[in-house]
């Protein structure tokens, strides 16, 4: 299985980075091909989405390279901190630029059709608030990420995990939580 991990945290020593690295290590132990795309350090930097015509979106070399990576992946893993109830702007911009009409979805008779069928996704988020907060309306990540973003593109969400209360957890507690989550996924 090919796995693309998309992560967005400005600190290379963050728990967010630990999640991405740990997922990669576990995936490789299973024989997967795994790549981490760190939106803060990649050479594939994208400006905020701008266009004059919708048909202009996705024509640049960086977007085409990223879309090739998305096509390569059978599994997408999104890892980010929760800021102002959602992913950082750089992650949302990643969606705006790369999950565009004609690549990730299209409309047929006014109804959206996902074009990335056969792919799965996992979402890992870190937050200072308790994790259960993100299952409440209106900040329900199963709706926002699972249905409104991923399913819209034809991607099946296999899990969404919000690691809460991160500011008060010790490094040991965080490692234990992460190990338990990885055990659920990889056995």
Query: What is the per-residue pLDDT for 8?
Result: 97
* Cβ count within 10 A of residue 87: 26
Contacts of 8 (CB under 8 A, 6+ apart): 16, 38, 39, 40, 79, 80, 81, 87, 88, 90, 91, 94
Residues 77, 5: contact at Cβ < 8 Å? Answer: yes
Q: 72-90: per-residue pLDDT in tens?
A: 999 999 999 999 888 999 9
Mean pLDDT value across residues 91-105: 95
- DSSP-assigned beta bridge partners for residue 125: 80, 162
Mean pLDDT value across residues 88-109: 95
Domain annotation for the chain: domains and CATH numbers: 2-186 (3.40.50.360)
Query: What is the per-residue pLDDT for 110?
Result: 93
Cα–Cα distance for residue pair 162/149, rounded to 1 Å: 17
Cα–Cα distance for residue pair 12/77, rounded to 1 Å: 18
Query: What is the per-residue pLDDT for 137?
Result: 55
* Cβ count within 10 A of residue 81: 21
Rg of the chain over all Cα atoms, to the nearest angstrom: 16
Q: 162-184: per-residue pLDDT in tens?
A: 998 888 899 999 999 999 999 99
Query: What is the per-residue pLDDT for 12?
Result: 93
Query: What is the per-residue pLDDT for 143?
Result: 85
End-to-end CA distance of the chain: 16
* Cβ count within 10 A of residue 176: 12
What contacts 24+ positions apart, CB below 8 Å, involve 33-38? 33/1, 33/2, 33/3, 34/2, 34/3, 34/4, 34/5, 35/3, 35/4, 35/5, 35/69, 35/73, 36/5, 36/7, 37/4, 37/5, 37/6, 37/7, 37/66, 37/69, 38/7, 38/8
Query: What is the per-residue pLDDT for 16?
Result: 96
Is residue 18's pLDDT more than 70? yes
Please tell me the least confidently modeled range out of 8-17, 56-65, 86-95, 109-118: 56-65
Extract the tokens encoding 138. Answer: 């209106």
Q: 102-160: per-residue pLDDT in tens?
A: 999 999 999 999 999 999 999 999 998 877 776 665 568 888 898 899 999 999 999 99
Residues 127, 162: contact at Cβ < 8 Å? Answer: yes
Q: 21-39: per-residue pLDDT in tens?
A: 999 999 999 999 999 999 9
Query: What is the per-residue pLDDT for 177?
Result: 94
């Amino acid at each position: 299985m090919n796995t693309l991990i998309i992560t967005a945290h400005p600190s290379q020593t963050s728990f967010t980075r630990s999640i991405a690295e740990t997922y990669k290590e576990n995936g490789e132990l299973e024989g997967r091909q795994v790549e981490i795309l760190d939106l803060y350090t990649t050479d594939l930097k994208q400006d905020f989405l701008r266009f004059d015509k919708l048909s202009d979106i996705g024509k640049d070399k960086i977007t085409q390279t990223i879309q090739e990576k998305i096509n390569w992946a059978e599994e997408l893993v999104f890892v980010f901190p929760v800021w102002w109830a959602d992913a950082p702007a750089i992650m949302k911009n990643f969606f705006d630029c790369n999950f565009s009409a004609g690549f990730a979805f299209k409309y047929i008779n006014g109804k959206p059709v996902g074009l990335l069928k056969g792919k799965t996704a996992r979402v890992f988020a870190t937050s200072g608030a308790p994790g259960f907060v993100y299952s409440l309306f209106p900040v329900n990540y199963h709706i926002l990420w699972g249905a409104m973003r991923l399913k819209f593109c034809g991607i099946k969400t296999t899990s969404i995990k919000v690691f809460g209360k991160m500011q008060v957890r010790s490094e040991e507690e965080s490692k234990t939580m992460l190990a338990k989550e990885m055990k659920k996924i990889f056995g």
